[in-house]
């Protein structure tokens, strides 16, 4: 459901739940950060999607929003991602949900931005290597959930 904000993904969530999956990966946030004051709507959408996931007896796997690359980075935008990711860590810890950490794992330790090898070149979308790394993180989170 790419290209949507978290509330838009939530509005279309039956696109996932109708298939009766064992797991649902909930990822988003990059498209939400363009506007100020979106944290509450992001959090509410995630909480609602988790409830919908549990309602179909699936296990939610949550994914942190990756950092921005050099060409899209602003301190304000990255600050919104960091605020959301901090909330997501707490939410998952409090509720016992698995979290795929695409933020710290894909971040360059020197620049604090999306690592060049994981950036497609636009500063927003991941490269093939970035998506492979993300897929491995999600697979690890599914395995850690221990329900398959």
Q: What is the DSSP-derived secondary structure letter of residue 119?
A: B
What is the full per-residue pLDDT of the chain (148 aa) written as tens digits? 557 899 999 999 999 999 999 999 999 998 888 777 678 899 999 999 999 999 999 999 999 999 999 888 888 889 999 999 999 999 999 999 999 999 999 999 999 999 999 999 999 999 999 999 999 999 999 999 985 5
Q: Domain of 47: which CATH number?
A: 3.40.50.1110
| Domain encompassing residue 125 | 6-145
Query: Given this model, what pLDDT does residue 71 score?
Result: 85
15-53 pLDDT, tens per residue?
999 999 999 999 999 888 877 767 889 999 999 999 999
- Residue 100 inside a domain? The answer is yes
Query: Given this model, what pLDDT does residue 148 score?
Result: 55
Q: Give the total number of structural domains in the chain.
A: 1
- Going from the C-alpha of 12 to that of each of 6, 25, 35, 50, 76, the distances in angstroms are 10, 14, 21, 13, 28
- Residue 1 inside a domain? The answer is no
């Amino acid at each position: 459901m790419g290209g949507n904000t978290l509330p838009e993904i939530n509005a279309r969530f039956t696109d996932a739940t109708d298939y009766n999956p064992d797991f649902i990966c909930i990822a988003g946030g990059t498209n939400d950060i363009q506007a100020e004051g979106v944290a509450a709507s992001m959090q509410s959408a995630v909480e609602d999607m988790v409830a919908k996931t549990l309602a179909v007896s699936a296990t939610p796997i949550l994914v942190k929003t990756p950092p921005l690359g050099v060409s899209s980075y602003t301190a304000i935008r990255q600050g919104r991602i960091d605020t959301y990711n901090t909330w997501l860590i707490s939410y998952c810890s409090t509720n016992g949900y698995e979290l795929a950490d695409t933020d710290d794992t894909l971040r360059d330790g020197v620049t604090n931005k999306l690592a060049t090898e994981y950036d497609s070149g636009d500063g927003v979308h991941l490269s093939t290597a970035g998506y492979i790394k993300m897929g491995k993180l999600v697979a690890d989170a599914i395995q850690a959930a221990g329900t398959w």
